[in-house]
Structure 1
Amino acid sequence: MKGTHGTPELGIGIGWRPEIADAVEALDGVDWVEAVAENLCADHLPDSLVRLRERGVTVVPHGVSLGLGGADRPDPGRLADLAERARALGSPLVTEHIAFVRAGGALTASPGLEAGHLLPVPRTKDALRVLCENVRIAQDSLPVPLAVENIAALICWPDEEMSEGQFLAELVERTGVRLLIDVANLHTNHVNRGEDPATALDELPVEAIAYVHVAGGVERDGVWHDTHAHPVTRPVLDVLAELRSRTAPPGVLLERDDDFPPAAELAAELDTIRETVAAGPTPTGGRVPPRVTAAWAGGTDDEGARQRLALRQTALLSALVDGGPVPEGFDAHRLGVQSRALTAKRADVVAKIAPELPEILGDGYRPAFLGYGAHRPLRGGYRRDALDFAEHLLTEGLPADAAARRRLDLWWRERAAARPPRRATRLARAARAALVRH
């Protein structure tokens, strides 16, 4: 069924995660679910999702790795994978983020860097030009409509030329893309960057909204952390109510990614979201912004815009994950907070995909990984990161406990190679990497 926004009427949904698959299936009143696209295999879908689809529950794949806001054009392989998942799920649309997740490489003649996280794009004409072209490339590669999500951020780019609402409005006007508005992210940016959610909602084209995210977080030392691991707070629900006062979104979805509560608590949060949406005024309808041609974003400076954006994003990511200098105009304290948050996230993800490491290292796992990750950027994905972390400890003669070191050595050997490199080899590798960086 199509709503007045030209997108499907989805209703109330919840993020599907393997850890709560049974609970999601048992929840009453769940009209649809969203699943992280990169965690799905199109030719072997999880049984839980298959059962939900058979019951008529809509499943939307939600991508996290395209990096549409990055300086490089979207990777064709990643786009093909996302398209394949949309077809396998019979999805009415797919979603991604207005963010960059990697930098460096050919455009800057420097080593590629991975953030392992969604980072904000500068709200500038250069960044908008690049984003518009990347969105069009994605739209042309996908079998269903694309919606893009605003992200939460700890840091601000200097010399921005547009507000968030203006940036989103320009993006929609020039591409016709739909929006996934995360009200928790609007609240996060209010706390962390002083941006008024109501102003953003006034400026953005609410008629282009495909659906809405609602999620929990926590405030520490004046910084709001969008954790998706805490209950939804009243301020976030207030932003949802603000949005509902302007439009009736086709869908609203509860996100939860960690520290999953009992099913009864999830049901209660869904009820609260449902009540907030139902309390809004009767919608007056809206229009879908027309899709325009690519003439605007082309011009003669497309490659120049990519080059300039690549240099800026590489400098920022180098400061965050590779010990590079703080780029001019950035808040050094905020960059430090963001850098530590990125390393902490790496530690959490590695602990999930390689649970033997925290088991072997005990209480020493986290401080050891934080020390390792502070000066060694993520390369080759999290499984490679786990192996590199173990290799680093072994070549440093760690852990100090001989029995734990033997267990770690055996774990590493079973997954990587016959013998970890000696300390001299490790130091030579580090020296070569430093020469390449500088």
Structure 2
Amino acid sequence: MERLGTGIGWRPEIADAVERMPGIDWVEVVAENTCPGHLPESLRRLRERGVTVVPHGVSLGLGGADRPDESRLTALAERAAALGSPLVTEHIAFVRAGGVLTASPRLEAGHLLPVPRTRDALDVLCENVRIAQAALPVPLAVENIAALIAWPDEEMTEGQFLYELADRTGVRLLIDVANLHTNHVNRGEDPAAALADLPLEAIAYVHVAGGFERDGVWHDSHAHPVPRPVLDILTDLASRVSPPGVLLERDENFPEPAELEGELAAIRGAVEKGREQGGAPGTTVSRTREQGAAPTASASRATAPVPAPDTTPARQRLALAQAALLSALVAGTPVPEGFDRVRLGVQARALAGKRADVVAKVAPELPVILGTGYRSAFLGYAHGHPMTGGYRRDALDFAGHLLGAGTVRDERALAELREWWLERSGSRPRSHRPGVRLARATRRVLLRR
């Protein structure tokens, strides 16, 4: 595996700061936020300097019951090629449910949700990973996610689940130590036990991020400083294996560059401390799983191929379970048996809040038009209107709902909202229609007089 070094998540808000930061060996970009033919100049300059850029996908839904969407795989492959990346990464999560397998409406989570650690889910995930591997021009690495909720009747620990996934597919692992901490607080899972179960040679790189605790629940916000417990887990990991790369994630609430550089220094220090505890740099400390050593990727490839199981029944069972859970979270249907109702309520509010935040980013005019009433209006809308498409569709549907409901009382805001919605709805924006262009040009001339 290529040595990546120390990196940071590239975001437009900190692009200039990232270019000036010392010791940045590589960056990671959200794949869905990049366009292969129109890369930001900052990324172009970083690549010209020899800085590696890795695309990180968030919408493939490899842990979902459906097979991966071909168009999403093609888009991910195009970004890997455009960025000259040595690998691409995605999440072990599901992000949508419903549809053909359940004969129910398609629902979008708008966020990463955990898959059950069951044999059914593992069989489906393994097949989905193999499909993705065949479609991508570079190796794939998959990331463990943070979770507020736990599935009932799980059959494996996280470490065992990841071990079997890597062993059966040869996929590499992106280990997020902040997510291990999140699952420790929220689900009582031991990070050290998870690390002990992992096939350490499969690690592609490591994520480090911050969050916050509220009412006994840890929220993986990517908007707060990295806490000491997360750095301690990173030290534990680095005592077991020398990770090829370590990356700081920060998605919002960006601090001054000096603070980010201080967090990067703390990350380097945690890795170095782990190396000192584990032995010489670059060595892997031997670990056993149950009574045998973890097989290496090369050993797995040397064995005779095992025929893949028929996943159709597993997909159908998984589809029903995921659709029931997602419907409870975003459509207010009854909570499936075995789930913690209070924790599902926390997750549902978190999903709605994330929808409000992302819609505000993709359609920044809406918070301006609606002012301080934007968030409460959106949360009220989200309660009874699940997301069935992307965030831009969600923004249009929200605006259309407000116009139809007649809840916007301010005449100026109502007029601006109607104009915004008409501009963006339909097969062709109103601004591209000759009559609208003429009317706007006339209005501008009159306003100048």
Deviation at 1:370, TM superposition (A): 0.4
Query: 26, 32, 54: which one pairs with 1:32?
Result: 26
1 CA distance for matches of 2:269 and 2:44? 29
Query: 388, 409, 413: which one pairs with 2:397?
Result: 388
Q: Which runs of 5+ in 1 are unaligned?
A: 1-6, 419-438
Cα pair distance change 1:89/1:37, threshold 3 Å: same
Residue 233 of structure 1 corresponds to which residue in structure 2?
Answer: 227
Q: Which SS does the other structure have where 2:130 is aligned? A: helix
List aligned pairs for 1:12-51, cutoff 5 A.
12-51=6-45
Does the 8 A contact of 1:104 with 1:314 survive in 2?
yes
CA deviations on 1:284-304 (whole Å, 9 max, x unpaired) are 3484354458965623x4100
What one-letter code is carried by the residue in structure 1 that aligns with 2:108?
E
Q: Which SS does the other structure have where 2:163 is aligned? A: helix
CA deviations on 1:19-50 (whole Å, 9 max, x unpaired) are 11111100000000000111111122111111
Residue 92 of structure 1 corresponds to which residue in structure 2?
Answer: 86
Q: Which SS does the other structure have where 1:111 is aligned? A: strand
2 CA distance for matches of 1:415 and 1:195? 46
Cα pair distance change 1:85/1:18, threshold 3 Å: same
1 CA distance for matches of 2:86 and 2:388? 34
Residue 313 of structure 1 corresponds to which residue in structure 2?
Answer: 322
Does the 8 A contact of 1:208 with 1:289 survive in 2?
no
Does the 8 A contact of 1:113 with 1:378 survive in 2?
yes
Residue 421 of structure 1 corresponds to which residue in structure 2?
Answer: none
Does the 8 A contact of 2:237 with 2:274 survive in 1?
no
1 CA distance for matches of 2:171 and 2:300? 8
What TM-score do the two structures reach when normalised by structure 1?
0.91
Residue 115 of structure 2 corresponds to which residue in structure 1?
Answer: 121
Residue 429 of structure 1 corresponds to which residue in structure 2?
Answer: none
Query: 245, 255, 260: which one pairs with 1:251?
Result: 245
What one-letter code is carried by the residue in structure 1 that aligns with 2:380?
G
2 CA distance for matches of 1:217 and 1:86? 29
List aligned pairs for 1:372-387, cutoff 5 A.
372-387=381-396
Deviation at 1:407, TM superposition (A): 1.7
Deviation at 1:128, TM superposition (A): 0.3
Query: 365, 376, 382: which one pairs with 1:367?
Result: 376
2 CA distance for matches of 1:77 and 1:260? 33
> Is 1:59 paired with 2:53?
yes
Query: 268, 273, 286: which one pairs with 1:274?
Result: 268
What one-letter code is carried by the residue in structure 1 that aligns with 2:59?
S
Name the larger-Rg structure: 2
Query: 398, 415, 421: which one pairs with 1:406?
Result: 415
CA deviations on 1:21-80 (whole Å, 9 max, x unpaired) are 111100000000000111111122111111101000000010111100000010111111
Residue 352 of structure 2 corresponds to which residue in structure 1?
Answer: 343
2 CA distance for matches of 1:294 and 1:113? 40
Q: Which SS does the other structure have where 1:327 is aligned? A: coil
Residue 284 of structure 1 corresponds to which residue in structure 2?
Answer: 283
2 CA distance for matches of 1:332 and 1:289? 44
Q: Which runs of 5+ in 2 are unaligned?
A: 286-295, 428-449
1 CA distance for matches of 2:181 and 2:18? 26
Q: Which SS does the other structure have where 1:151 is aligned? A: coil
Q: Which SS does the other structure have where 2:105 is aligned? A: strand
Residue 190 of structure 1 corresponds to which residue in structure 2?
Answer: 184
Residue 134 of structure 1 corresponds to which residue in structure 2?
Answer: 128
Cα pair distance change 1:289/1:347, threshold 3 Å: farther
Cα pair distance change 1:417/1:298, threshold 3 Å: closer
Cα pair distance change 1:147/1:297, threshold 3 Å: farther
Does the 8 A contact of 1:126 with 1:305 survive in 2?
yes
Does the 8 A contact of 2:240 with 2:284 survive in 1?
no
Does the 8 A contact of 2:369 with 2:417 survive in 1?
yes
Residue 69 of structure 2 corresponds to which residue in structure 1?
Answer: 75
2 CA distance for matches of 1:294 and 1:54? 43
Deviation at 1:206, TM superposition (A): 1.5
What one-letter code is carried by the residue in structure 1 that aligns with 2:351?
L
Structure 1 stretch 301-310 or stretch 409-418: which is displaced more?
Answer: 409-418
> Is 1:216 paired with 2:210?
yes
What TM-score do the two structures reach when normalised by structure 2?
0.89
Does the 8 A contact of 1:322 with 1:377 survive in 2?
yes
> Is 1:298 paired with 2:292?
no
Deviation at 1:391, TM superposition (A): 1.1
Q: Which SS does the other structure have where 1:279 is aligned? A: helix
Deviation at 1:223, TM superposition (A): 0.4
Q: Which SS does the other structure have where 1:374 is aligned? A: helix
2 CA distance for matches of 1:329 and 1:297? 34
What one-letter code is carried by the residue in structure 2 that aligns with 1:284?
T
1 CA distance for matches of 2:157 and 2:305? 24
Does the 8 A contact of 2:95 with 2:111 survive in 1?
yes
Does the 8 A contact of 1:86 with 1:94 survive in 2?
yes
What one-letter code is carried by the residue in structure 2 that aligns with 1:208?
A
CA deviations on 1:371-404 (whole Å, 9 max, x unpaired) are 1001111122111111111111111112122222
Residue 96 of structure 2 corresponds to which residue in structure 1?
Answer: 102
